[in-house]
Structure 1
């Protein structure tokens, strides 16, 4: 069976090792996998496309053409919209950080708060604000983009990322920020193995089942009262932290999942 892994150029360069692992793992399951970088030529010949971008309209077009897309467009749409993510959590009964759209500091009555763009990722466009002036300055930086405001939850600059393939959690890590309230490893944070408790695994698997996702990351923080709060859903999710903290061959498990899915569709 023929498949493509589709990346934007900058991400393809940064993730070349994982791409090669996916291609190699595909051969184990008789999947002929090829990288395609910002080039849709010949994609209509594919049995499946592993989409590693963030524009759900791109993957929706492929779905409308009858192709299997991993992850499907609805996963991409919700995961890359933080407001949609929190609405999904509320619908599923999963505790989440109180979140609302913000256009002015007038609507904020308690500080500190976190202001972030709806569509940011990797810890980008996330700002801790302690005053009205800081909120107004942040809002002025993002004219024309939707912004969210959340109360700042003290969480020791750490979060938990659970990796879910199909509807099963396959691993989890604790990420800790360095000189930063953001825990993202791409911003200099560190990752260590974490054995997620059953309730947290249940939350992540509940999200994956609702989304009908293939491979996602689900991030939680824990407040001072010990309550786990949904923070983000990541699609496309990387695998670097999981490779560094476990023996799991992530690429092989992803390709095994795709192979099983293809066989069911025959």
Structure 2
């Protein structure tokens, strides 16, 4: 079966090692896989595309053309809209950090507050504000962008990310920030292996089942009372921290999952 791994060009350069592993493991699982970048059209021989970007309209179009998109566009849409993510959590009964849309400082009742763009990723568009002036400045940075605000939860600059392939939690890491309240490894944080407690596993699996996802990350923080709260769903999710903290061959397991999915279609 012929398939393509789609990345934006800059992201493909940063992820070349993982791409090579996916191609190798695809071949081992009877999948003839190639990299595709910067092209709106999938070749006619495509049975599937492993979609590693955030353009929901593109993935929707490919689905409408009859291609199998991994993850499907609905996963991409929800995971890349923080407000949609928290709405999903509320529907599923998964505890999460309260989130509301914010348009101006008049919407803010109490500080400190965290303001985020709804479609940002990697922690780059997440801001902790303690005054009206700080909040006004942050809001001014994102004209014509949707923003959400959340109460600041004291969490020792750490979170946990659970990795799911299908509806199985295949690994997890605890991430700790350095000189920042953000725990993102890409911003200088560190990662270590994390043993997932059963309730947290159940929350993540509930999300994966609802989304019908193939490969996602689900991030939680723990508040001062020990309650786990959903922070984000990540699609596309990277694998560096998981490779560094476990023996799991992520590319192999993802390609095995895709092969099994295609043979069921």
Fold conserved between structures, TM > 0.5: yes
- 1:253 equivalent in structure 2: 253
Pairwise mapping of residues 212-251 of structure 1 onto structure 2 (< 5 A)? Answer: 212-251=212-251
The 2-side partners of 1:227 and 1:96 are apart by 10
Map of 1:170 onto structure 2? 170
3-state secondary structure, aligned to 2:50:
strand
**Following the alignment from structure 2 to structure 1, what is the Cα–Cα distance between the partners of residues 196 and 130?**
32
Instruction: Please state if 1:207 is matched with 2:207.
Output: yes
Structure 2 gap segments, 5+ residues each: none
Shift of 1:107: 1.7
- Aligned twin of 1:106: 106
* Mapped contact 2:158–2:174 kept (Cα < 8 A): yes
Q: Is the alpha carbon distance of 1:48 and 1:135 closer, same or farther for their aligned partners in structure 2, counting shifts above 3 Å?
A: same
CA distances 1:45-65 after superposition (whole Å, capped 9, x unpaired)? 201000100011101101101
CA distance in 2, matches of 1:111, 1:19: 43
Q: For 1:116 and 1:107, how far apart are their aligned partners in 2?
A: 14
Q: Does structure 1 retain, via aligned residues, the 8 Å contact 2:221–2:229?
A: yes
| Aligned-pair CA distance for 1:85 | 0.2
Per the alignment, residue 191 of structure 1 pairs with 191
Separation of aligned partners in 1, 2:256 and 2:140: 46
Number of equivalenced pairs: 265
> Aligned with 1:94: secondary structure?
coil
Moved over 3 A (4+): none
Aligned-residue offset at 1:44: 2.8
- Return the offset for 1:41: 4.7
1:89 and 1:250 map into 2 onto residues whose CA distance is 26
**Matched residues in 1 for 2:76 and 2:202: separation?**
21
Which whole-Å deviations, capped at 9, do the CAs of 1:24-48 have from their partners, x for residues lacking one?
A: 1101111000001112455232010
SS of corresponding position for 2:191: strand
Structure 1 CA distance for aligned equivalents of residues 57 and 205 of structure 2? 25
CA-based RMSD: 0.7
Separation of aligned partners in 1, 2:133 and 2:240? 38
Say yes or no: does 1:54 pair with 2:31: no
Q: Closer, same or farther in 2 for the Cα pair 1:227/1:42, shift >3 Å?
A: closer
Alpha-carbon contact 2:42-2:62 (below 8 Å) kept = no
Conserved 8 A contact 2:40-2:58? no
Higher mean C-alpha deviation, range 105-114 or range 225-234: 105-114
Partner of 1:121: 121
Which range moves more in the overlay, 42-51 or 167-176? 42-51
* Aligned mates of 1:205, 1:116 — CA distance in 2: 25
1:53 aligned counterpart, secondary structure = coil
CA deviation vs aligned residue, 1:212-253 (integer Å, no higher than 9, x gap):
000000000000000000000000000000000000000000
SS at match of 1:43: coil
Counterpart position of 2:25: 25
Q: Which runs of 5+ in 1 are unaligned?
A: none
